[in-house]
A = this chain, B = another copy of it.
């Protein structure tokens, strides 16, 4: 089991990225890092191999042309390693756009998938929720939302081991007629679709309440919602901390409560989820948080390794193919029906 890790792009620097690679390697995962050998300082570490790489794609570059032009950039080389079969999964904490472009060009889409989608396990207390798309597609049609539902359900079943996962469609009200035109149409298509446990519409408040196992939306709403959820959890946690520093009695209370709150803090921290998975490709690609700490980077590598171990791609393809006739009909109908 080998994970190809982009050695550039971690905002906290090479030391933190290297520390994350060490943590993952200590779990027995082979890590091949494409980055600057000297800055990483990983030579001789068991389970880690460094492929010295000088070229990189920055956050400020237009992803698609950059990936096309820079054949030797770290994320492009790491993706090629996976498409060549020399590594089992790709992980990058760099530019999300560049990672998506490198993965889509390098790994190609599964049969019948029109648009790959970025999925995350939401950092909410209790039952995890798989949420997609969180940024791959800012504009979608109804049929894309339907495909995201199938991709999310397949991943939830195969990797997260949720039996018959329930899927909700994010919109502005419970009733089937609520939301944008493409959402109303996706609701109709999903209601009639065989082979999926469609639970109907869900609203913003249902996301942290974990009402369904999977929640589907477009990449604009999903990206805003994910960042809002992370920001709100952080703000509320900070406000609790402020309250605990407001007077000596409260401070004493905060100290007594702290051990019990640490578990919650871990659950709410974006690092705990290991980043976003690009679903719908013939290979595994994980986009870690740019701001990840060492534990976040290690968790991204662990998530990628786990996807490879359970053959997430093969099982997703198999689930998509099951009852494929029904879905092909859906696809045709969706294409005709949406604007």
Contact = CB atoms under 8 A, between A and B. Distances in A.
A241 to B, nearest CB: 11
Contact of A228 (B225, B237, B263, B268): B225
A243 B256 CA distance: 11
A137 to B, nearest CB: 10
Contacts of A175: 60
Interface residues of A, number: 63
Given A228-B205, A231-B207, A239 B125 contact: yes
A244 B228 contact: no
* Chain A interface helix/strand/loop/mixed: helix
A243 B260 contact: yes
Interface in A241-293: 242-244, 246-247, 249-250, 252-261, 263-264, 267-268
A51 B336 CA distance: 52
A118 to B, nearest CB: 11
A92 interface: no
Nearest to A206: B231
Interface string A182-210: 01000000000000000000011111110
Contacts of A49: none
Contacts of A253: 252-258, 260
Contacts of A319: none
Given A124-B235, A138-B172, A228-B228, A250 B259 contact: yes
A180 B139 contact: yes
Interface of A: 60, 124-125, 135, 138-139, 170-172, 175, 179-181, 183, 203-209, 217, 219-221, 223-237, 239-240, 242-244, 246-247, 249-250, 252-261, 263-264, 267-268
